[in-house]
Structure 1
Amino acid sequence: MDVRLDHLVCWVSDQLGSLRFYEQVIGLPGVRAEEFREGEAAFPSVRVSPETILDLMTYDASRGVEEGTGVKGSAGHPVNHLCLAVGKEDFDALKVRLKQHGVEISGSGTNSFGAQGIAPETIYFPDPDGNVLEVRYYE
């Protein structure tokens, strides 16, 4: 199975300050930084690799993120969720395996923004310790 890290969501107290830090101190290029500065994007991101970004989200946004993942108690942790990008065939096979192992898909979405653009479909589910995983595919 071809799996890659898509994005991580980090809670920050000052999105612009964090964006400056990751861009200027760490040297990671901003993603949707101008759109965020202009109020057109809810949060800025920085690119970690060609396929991986780090989203900089305020803790105030945690309620909406928790509602989106469907996993109660997922908001407010240092890491909100881990997203993996797979191929469409692997995505469909994963959904079958989750069901076979009694793992409930707690949330889903369509046309979700990520490191490689817009993903047509995404699912969320907790691991045995309650860590939230998101899996998506791109066309």
Structure 2
Amino acid sequence: MHARLDHLVCWVSDQLVSLHFYERVIGLPGVRAVEFREGKAPFPSVRISPECVIDLMTFESMRGVDEGTGVPGSSGHPLNHLCLAVGKEDFDALQVRLKQHKVEITGTGTNSFGAQGIAPETIYFPDPDGNVIEVRYYD
């Protein structure tokens, strides 16, 4: 079987604040951002790759999530962190944007194993709701 990650759902307290963070600070393009701002979509997303997005949802926007998944208590399940792999140039540029936006890098790593092998460097930082994001690059 060959599977690909389609989407992740991050629980956020303010979808516009989070959309701004993921678009402007991290640099991911918004998906349905205009439609969300116009009240035509229940939540915005940001694109990680052509095949994967992060949905930015509030508990209020997704009432009935437990019923939809069929797993009681599934809405708001904590996630340890999500990891984005970028090129070295984007990795360096992100660190500059984090500093400009006063987002603290809370952790770093070297020679860390991931889906594509060993990453020379990794950084960790929180989004506005405390969701932990790891960003790394591969040689």
Match for residue 39 of structure 1? 39
Query: TM-score normalized by structure 1?
Result: 0.54
More strand by share: 1
Give a deviation string over 1:79-104, Cα, whole Å, max 9, x none.
4xxxxxxxxxxxxxxxxxxxxxxxxx
Shift of 1:61: 3.3
Shift of 1:19: 0.1
After the TM superposition, which parts of structure 1 deviate over 6 Å for at least 4 consecutive aligned residues? Answer: none
Shift of 1:31: 0.3
Query: TM-score normalized by structure 2?
Result: 0.54
Alignment length (residue pairs): 79
Asked if the contact 1:47–1:54 (Cα under 8 Å) also holds between the matched residues in 2, the reply is yes
Report the aligned-residue RMSD.
1.2
Provide the C-alpha distance between the structure 2 equivalents of 1:55 and 1:40, rounded to a whole number of angstroms: 15
Match for residue 21 of structure 1? 21
Match for residue 5 of structure 1? 5
Structure 2 stretches lacking a partner, 5+ long: 80-139
Residue 48 in structure 1 maps to residue 61 in structure 2: no
Shift of 1:62: 4.6
Identity of aligned residues (%): 75
Match for residue 95 of structure 2? none
Q: 1:74 to 1:67 in 2, by over 3 A?
A: same
